[in-house]
Amino acid sequence: MDTPQTRTFPGRFDSLAAIGEFVTHAAEAAGLDERAIYEVQMAVDEACSNIIEHAYGGEGRGDIECACRTDEHALTVTLRDHGTPFDPTRAPKPDLDAPLDERQVGGLGAYFMQQLMDEMRFEHTPDLGNVLTMVKHRGSALSERSVAQNELVVDARLYSDLRRRADQLAAVAEVSHAVASILDLDILLDKIVELVQARFDYPFVHLLTVDPARQQIVYRAGSGPRGKVLQEEGLVCKLDDASGIVPWVAQCGKAVLVNDLSRESRYRVSEFSEADVRSELAVPLIFGDRVLGVLDVQSDRRDVFGEQDRFLFKALADSAAIAIRNAHLYRSERWRYQVAESMREVTGLLSTEATLDQVLEATLAELERALPCDVAAIWLLRGDNLCVSAVRGHAPEVCVGDFQPVGALSSGVNSWLVQALNADQPIIRTSQSPSDPLGTAMDFPLDYSAIAAPLRVGGRRLGILTLAHHAPGRYGDESQAMTATFASYAAIAIENTRLYQETQELARISTVMLRVAEATRSLTTLDQVLKTVVQLAPTLVNVKRCAILLRDDPTATFAPAAVYGVNSDQQDDFARWYIAPGDEQAFDDLCQNKTPVFIYDVATDSRLSGTVPWALGFESLLLLPLLVQDEVLGAMLIDYQSDWEEFGASGASHDERLTIIQGIALQTAAAVENTRLREAQQEEAYVSAALLQVAQAVANLNDLDEILSTIVRITPILTGVERCITFLWDDEQSVFRPAQSYGIPRDKEAVFLARRYAPGDFALLETVREHGRLLVYPLDAKGDGLAPPDPLADLMLPSERPLLAVPLAVKGDVLGVMLLEEASVSRRFRERRLEIITGIAQQAALAVQNDRLQQEMAERERLERELQLAHEIQQTFMPGQPPDLHGWELAFGWRAARRVAGDFYDFFELPDRRLGLVIADVADKGMPAALFMALTRTLMRAAALEETSPAAALARVNDLLVPDAQSGMFVTLFYAILSLEIGELTYANAGHNRPLLLRPGAEELEQLVKGEMALGVMEGIRYKEHAISLEPGDYLLFYTDGVSEAFSPEGEIYGEERLQATIQAVAGNSAQEMLDGIDDSVAAFIGDAAPSDDRTTMVLHWE
């Protein structure tokens, strides 16, 4: 009888196919004919269906164990479950002659099972559960079946087909019910694919949706890993593609069933088609008269689909189409709700003091969230010119400054924008429409999408709102309605903001001076005062730009302090604008005359030779001195537009704005002086407080990366530097590696921190390491040799700012370098800041040193733990207890000179009451010897089991060790086999200490025969085998040279004579007592001296 084959399957209907395949293989192996195999399949399928439906009461509530066993006569199938017991053998026989509508429901399946199988038994026990056994005899399907039984098989097939069709219809109903309540489109599509594959068991299921706007078919969901990849890649194909089954179904709205794709002219291999697909069923998802998508089912077998499958999947597709339509409607409603929320955000700005630019930016931001666009803009009328006032999009180069006014509306320039301005509703651009400025600036293709809505309030035109997208067909009726609503709210917000700004302007003028006075009194830092002044002054006198430069006393140089009304590039230009005496006549006149200087045209006036004022956007310039006690502390620059003829030769002015500006300048000068005095008193305290703050910040941190990260982030806060980077010197690789950084762009930080700088790569770091002192680049640079390498220079633009390179050193040992980029307004504070920076660098250096010390300590502790673990593992290699030797005693001892040893002993029982004895010594100590010992012990045990001769075993171990014996390592080893019955000892010696034999009454000890060369030295060595007969009362001592060559504190060797004397002194005792006596003698001899070698001893005694 063959061994039964058993498998366990989940109690689910989708497991029936796998169970049927398992049983079919067993039936074929049993030699059953085709009819008998089919009958077995039918019976097992019915039995398992009953277990799932009746015993477990539904899917997924238990497992089914199926076992198949064959013998020379039959196949036995056993099904076991742990559900509710049901005995099919006791089911009443159905009345097959009664009309169908009068037959009792149920019982037919159990009847079929009994008729299809030759034997059927049912058992139930609490431990085993329900066990159903069915037997099918060989040859019974053909030779022992009557005509009536053949008809029964036909009925069984019909019943199975009807049941399978009912299951499929139920699966369609289940899928329809499951997807009906899912409103998230992505989840819905994935669920449809999942349910179709689970319920119909087709290997390849794909779902694609139709995008009519783009004329594309989009892959949305699919089975298996390939489906997930295609879904993430966003696979698309053209809707009007002339080849392919899926495009044809999407275009025609009809299902296609192909059972042999090799003969189908419309079939072409697509990216989502599997390589081994043979048949395909593609069904359109239709709602109303619109094809929403295609459900594509593929199989790796031919002729798997029938017309009934077409009917079932069309019914399933109808349900799926309704669910997809509902998901679309739900998404549209959510979109409309989002638009309403966006409107609320824009409307909320009406109740705030938002500027016009803020209103425009908020409008575009909310519109961008609701509608697809690459770029959006608001155009406002300024006189007869339509000018772009706000732009938002993915291209940073598209900004307000890039667009010039479109021109007079009557001139017909850009007719599409003019058409939108005059339209009552938003207009949608077609492929025949001219390009608008947004599309032209973005270099969109000719068929790009755009929509424009007029901005009107009470019939008055304010401008237009435009959106553009690079792809065609992006805007339709919904987009038009939403854009119109947005434009209506935006127009109201824009108009109200303008009115609000006009009504507030007069009140603002009257309060600005008060605010300036209050600001100069209440603010505590110079930067706060200057920033407040440059922001308030333009608001007060209706100018665009204002800047302040402070005069440095030692050098009389004007340095940039604060600016307003410029962009980021202009701010960088301003930060580099230092004016020394003699550089600019206008500033020299200001210092000499201490009166305002008027520059009508900065581009042509010879008193300003530099290009910075023009680059900052100044066209006309008013230069005012900041005076305190007739001393010029700085200069205020105003972008002043006025009737210059109002100013007389004496400089008197009737312009009220000039009076206000001069008053602001005087208040600013007083604030500067007061703040400088106050800061001078605070600087001393600040240095100590800053260093204390750094110490407190890192006091509770143990991780070096966290400490350095804290330092590089707190240093800019405390010192005002722009960027801070720490480089650590790696002694092993002789490179600098960036450890932590602040101010490096996040998208470049990871690449930067992974760089390494070898000597010569970054001369500034290397110079600091060599000289151990602070360097400032470029002030301390001799030529360009210290310039940072290009990748780092690119990260630290603008490169004109000085770089401070501070050594991280402890007692002259440079552990790294802290690199800092000076801020634009740092010169007057440099002395104090350098003091703080040096103190921070010292704390960082101490942290690096402490971390290295901790790492070294941790490494030592780790090695100690590893050695201890190795010692414990090595001890497990040594036998702990001897076997029961019946009249023999065996005692053993093992002591390592270090944590691990190269000595080992071993003993093991062999057949015929024989005992193998091994003692060995590796020619080294410590971990290498321990590893070599473990290898030798393993090989020795293996050889002892394969070779009955000690000499042959040693020869085998030697040949195996030689290839692995590196660096001259070898091992001495004595191996003996003892016959416990007769006391005969057969042994071979590979260079080991000769064992000592003590016989009763003998005055001297005998030494066994000297052996051959140690193991692992040379391949091919053959060892001699010797034998000796032991007598009752004999002692045999095995030992390593750690015993005989032990040294006293005075350097005296223990020696073999002292060892033999000790053995004779303790003779007559047990083996363990003799071992303890030897061990005590050696220990007393060594005293407090550290052992010079491992000690291993074994004593064998025949009682």
| Per-residue pLDDT, 976 | 95
DSSP assignments along 640-663, one per residue: --S-GGGS-TT-----HHHHHHHH
Which secondary structure element, helix H or strand E, spans residue 765, and what is its range?
A: helix 763-771
**Residue 1023 · residue 954 · CB < 8 Å:** yes
For residue 728, pLDDT over 90 is answered with yes
For residue 81, pLDDT over 90 is answered with yes
Reported as a single tens digit per residue, the pLDDT across 808-865 is 998 889 999 999 887 754 455 566 778 888 888 888 888 888 888 888 887 777 766 7
- Please report, for the chain, how many H helices and E strands are present, in that order: 28, 36
- Average pLDDT score over residue span 546-551: 92
| Adjacent-strand bridge partners of 631 | 628
**Residue 933 · residue 920 · CB < 8 Å:** yes
For residue 1090, pLDDT over 50 is answered with yes
**Residue 769 · residue 745 · CB < 8 Å:** no
| Per-residue pLDDT, 725 | 92
Q: Alpha-carbon distance 652 to 1051, whole Å?
A: 108
- Average pLDDT score over residue span 987-1014: 91
Range of lowest pLDDT (19-23, 464-468, 668-672): 668-672
In this structure, whether the domain defined by 878-1102 belongs to CATH 3.40.50.2300 is answered with no
Compute the mean pLDDT over every residue in the chain, rounded to the nearest whole number: 81
For residue 293, the tally of other CB atoms under 10 A from its CB is 28
- Average pLDDT score over residue span 19-42: 90
DSSP SS3 for 387:
strand
The residue that leads in pLDDT, 673 or 683, is 673
The 8-class DSSP code of residue 409 comes to: G
The residue that leads in pLDDT, 676 or 977, is 977
Reported as a single tens digit per residue, the pLDDT across 752-767 is 888 899 888 888 888 8
Q: Alpha-carbon distance 579 to 560, whole Å?
A: 9
Reported as a single tens digit per residue, the pLDDT across 260-280 is 888 888 887 776 676 678 888
What single-letter amino acid sits at 612? V
For residue 990, pLDDT over 90 is answered with yes
- Average pLDDT score over residue span 933-954: 89
Report the length, in residues, of the chain: 1103
Q: Alpha-carbon distance 48 to 62, whole Å?
A: 12
pLDDT band at residue 680 using 50, 70 and 90 as cut-offs: low
| Per-residue pLDDT, 168 | 60
SS (H, E, C) 206-228: EEEEEECCCCEEEEEEECHHHHH
DSSP SS3 for 552:
strand
The 8-class DSSP code of residue 55 comes to: I
Torsion of CA 195, 196, 201, 206, to 10 degrees: -120
Reported as a single tens digit per residue, the pLDDT across 292-302 is 898 888 888 88
Which secondary structure element, helix H or strand E, spans residue 336, and what is its range?
A: helix 307-348
Which residue in the block uniquely carries the two structure tokens 């290699």?
877
| Displacement of CA 978 from its chain's centroid (Å) | 63
**Residue 67 · residue 5 · CB < 8 Å:** yes
Indicate the pTM of the whole model. 0.34
- Distance between start and end Cα atoms, the chain: 55
Range of lowest pLDDT (116-130, 405-419, 484-498, 1032-1046): 405-419
Rounded to whole angstroms, the maximal C-alpha distance in the chain is 140
* φ and ψ at residue 1041, rounded to 5 degrees: -70, -10
Residues 6+ apart with CB under 8 A from 372: 469, 474
Which secondary structure element, helix H or strand E, spans residue 69, and what is its range?
A: strand 63-70
Range of lowest pLDDT (172-181, 299-308, 477-486): 172-181
Question: How far apart, in Å, are the Cα atoms of 286 and each of 182, 209, 213, 282, 323?
Answer: 18, 11, 17, 13, 11
| Per-residue pLDDT, 85 | 92
Q: Residues of the chain with pLDDT > 70: what percent?
A: 82
Is the bond leading into 928 cis (omega within 30 degrees of zero)?
Answer: no
**Residue 694 · residue 843 · CB < 8 Å:** yes
In CATH terms, the superfamily for domain 523-681 is: GAF domain (3.30.450.40)
pLDDT band at residue 44 using 50, 70 and 90 as cut-offs: very high
**Residue 525 · residue 675 · CB < 8 Å:** yes
CATH class of this structure's domain 5-145: alpha beta
**Residue 491 · residue 457 · CB < 8 Å:** yes
Handedness of CA 404, 406, 408, 413 (dihedral sign): positive
DSSP assignments along 709-757, one per residue: HHHHHHHHHHH--SEEEEEEEETTTTEEEEEEEESS-HHHHHHHHT--B
Range of lowest pLDDT (371-375, 508-512, 733-737, 884-888): 508-512
DSSP SS3 for 81:
strand
Q: Alpha-carbon distance 157 to 160, whole Å?
A: 5
Q: Alpha-carbon distance 427 to 884, whole Å?
A: 104
Exposed, middle or buried, 363 (CB in 10 Å: 0-12/13-18/19+)? buried
CATH topology (fold) of 172-335: Beta-Lactamase (3.30.450)
Asked if 5-145 and 878-1102 have one fold, the answer is no
Reported as a single tens digit per residue, the pLDDT across 642-655 is 544 443 333 333 45
Domain ranges of the chain: 5-145, 172-335, 354-505, 523-681, 701-855, 878-1102
For residue 213, the tally of other CB atoms under 10 A from its CB is 13
In this structure, whether the domain defined by 701-855 belongs to CATH 3.40.190.10 is answered with no
pLDDT band at residue 141 using 50, 70 and 90 as cut-offs: very low
| Per-residue pLDDT, 26 | 92
Residues 6+ apart with CB under 8 A from 892: 878, 879, 882, 905, 907, 1075, 1096, 1097, 1098, 1099
Sheet with 914-922, side-by-side order of all strands: 903-910, 914-922, 971-979, 984-990, 1026-1029
Nearest partner of 37 among 47, 23, 54, judged by Cα: 23
**Residue 958 · residue 904 · CB < 8 Å:** no
pLDDT band at residue 540 using 50, 70 and 90 as cut-offs: confident
* φ and ψ at residue 435, rounded to 5 degrees: -70, 145
Q: What token pair was written down for 584?
A: 């600019």
DSSP SS3 for 1012:
strand
CATH class of this structure's domain 354-505: alpha beta
* φ and ψ at residue 107, rounded to 5 degrees: 95, -20
Reported as a single tens digit per residue, the pLDDT across 182-202 is 777 788 788 888 878 777 778
Handedness of CA 1035, 1040, 1042, 1044 (dihedral sign): positive
- CA neighbours closer than 13 Å in the CB half-sphere of residue 778: 9
